[in-house]
Chains A and B, each alone.
Chain A
Amino acid sequence: MTVYFLCAVLLTMGLYCLVAKKNIVKKVIGLVIMDYAVNLYLIIVGYKKGGVAPVIERGMNSSMLERFVDPLPQALVLTSIVIGLGVLALMVAMCIRIYERHGTFDMSQISKLRG
């Protein structure tokens, strides 16, 4: 239970960083922390005490299958990391473009649009 709680703390930290910081690079870092908190959560969901990596090797019998950790969340996390990488690359590119236009990373000096 404690691990889930710590995961939620990490998620909240990321959210705080995203909301409270004015520097857009710090906002990006906050978002990445949130992303990784969720990845961590998915891994914890698939965890099994005393589990081994779900790789079949030569000479394994079916009793080993019982000890495998759940491989599905790991596949999900791998996909989610790839997606996160794409989003991160786009975000960094946009940050750099914004810096080119405005000469600053400070959101309060950039913002002209008001939702």
Chain B
Amino acid sequence: MSPVPLFVAIPLGAAFLIPMLGIWWKKSGEVLAALSTVILAVMAILSIGSTAVTHHMGGWAPPVGIALVSDGLTVLLLIAVNVVAFLCILFSLKYMTAYSGLPKYYSLFMLMVAGMNGVVVSGDLFNLYVFLEIASIASYALVAFGTEADELEAGFKYLVLGSVASVMILFAIGTVYAVTGTLNMADAAREISLRFSGAGAMNPALLLAAAMFLMGFSLKAALVPFHAWLPDAHPSAPAPISAMLSGVVIKSLGVYAICRVFFHVFGFDPNVTSSVILANSMIWLAVLSIIIGGLVAVGQWDYKRLLAYSSIGQVGYVILGLGVGARVLATGGPRSLAALAILGGLFHLLNHAAFKSLLFLSSGAIQHATGTRDMKQMGGLRDKMPITSATTNLAALSISGVPPFSGFWSKLIILIAVVKAEHYVVAGIAIVMAFVTLVYYVKVQREIIFGSVRGAVEKAKEVPAAMYVPLIILAIVCVGFGLLYPVFGYRILEPARDALLNGAEYVKLVLG
């Protein structure tokens, strides 16, 4: 039996076992969550380079039964989700002791991980929706976990907008079912390409579904103009949850779902007229996110809000890479160029998962030590908290694209692809906004890390080892992706890129 269902079954089992054991055993949350996330992270890393497999739930072959699919793209996301989840749990062990109701926290955390893994492995549209809802509901509750006024308001906002997104996605799924008569993604893809590739134009109902999907998943991925919930929700959550939300949730629920649905189910076929429109709207969303996320981040003085806006901009880069790749495919351009753009987008996705979760965890460490998130009250953290400052610095350099760190290479690949695809204006915007990213991270460095010790920092002490070890591991990952890409990066990224490029392979994999 393939290990794919375990990625859902283990965290789900932990999520239900924790509150039950928590009645008698106060530490059940910590122990079980740490144990199951370790297992998941090891399993995810071991699945690098494995061949693509399909698991038929209940032994029913698709399109009748529900299939769980693991291909290159799935493995990429599984690694990001499970490794970041493990490090966030490690960080939570010490950080969350200030909160009450810890078994509930760990239970919700594991439910969120189960939902994300489920979204990633699901080969069925409705199953994807159900897991998306599981992950979303857990994250709504986790954002409001502190039940302070701000947290509740942010959680409510997130809940309302997230539910609107879910309604849109369900509507789109219903429409796809009405048109194609199937919910299996591979079967729907085959049906769509058979019926509309020859006809040259897509059914208007299917176009409506595509628009609804794009809107719903963009809300989950917080692309501008659907971003309003993110700058409130991400800073209000406890730091490990912020790291999960910014690091992996918006990617697995938003970006991954966009990839899967648009590249595989709808497909960017040069023979179908509407596919260029879809690709163009992806590029538009990306450019808007890059501009607005970047510019608003510069003006922020709340450290976590700055990071949240920066997430919007950086996810914009990911979508830009994917969108340009999609446009090249849709206009029948060279496949090698599409491959380059998609590779850049996916590489940036992986990098962003590493450095943004590192930044959010370090913001938690700083808040733990100084008791504030206001950058005006900080300064000279380098002297008081050397390890946290060093790792924050590294992540800031990496995200703002300073060579030779990982962020530089992924942005470079995206930019080369955009220029080669002859979108000069978009390339210009992306370059300028890359410098703006540098500007606000220089601001972070100047206000928080360097300078003289002042304000709330005076009494700060370095955080305990349980909190800085995850920071160090993530910092090593940031450097490693930058320097060692030729050694192992291609084993994760290239299968994912090939999976996105060849929609027909996916259909063959699932339907046999």
A interface residue numbers (CB < 8 A to B) = 11, 15, 18, 24, 27, 31, 34-35, 38, 41-42, 45, 72-73, 76, 79-80, 83, 86-87, 90-91, 94-95, 97-98, 101-102, 110-113, 115
Contact = CB atoms under 8 A, between A and B. Distances in A.
Contacts of A42: 170, 174, 177
B140 A90 contact: yes
A45 B174 CA distance: 7
A109 B494 CA distance: 51
B167 A90 contact: no
Given A38-B174, A42-B174, A24 B133 contact: no
A45 B137 contact: no
A87 B167 contact: no
Contacts, number: 94
A79 B155 CA distance: 24
Contacts of A45: 174, 177-178
User: Main secondary structure on chain B at its contact with chain A?
Assistant: helix
B286 to A, nearest CB: 19
> What secondary structure prevails in chain A residues at the interface with B?
helix
Contact of B130 (A27, A79, A87): A79
A87 B171 contact: no
Contacts of B148: 101
B160 A90 contact: no
| Residue in A35, A90, A112 whose Cβ sees the most chain B Cβ within 10 Å | A90
A63 B152 CA distance: 56
Given A38-B174, A45-B177, A31 B126 contact: no
Contacts of B171: 11, 38, 41
B133 A83 contact: yes
Interface string B152-168: 11111101100110110
A31 B133 CA distance: 15
B219 to A, nearest CB: 13
Contacts of A91: 156, 159-160, 163
A115 B163 contact: no
> 9 closest Cβ contacts across the A-B interface?
A115-B228, A113-B232, A45-B178, A101-B149, A42-B174, A83-B133, A34-B167, A38-B171, A38-B170
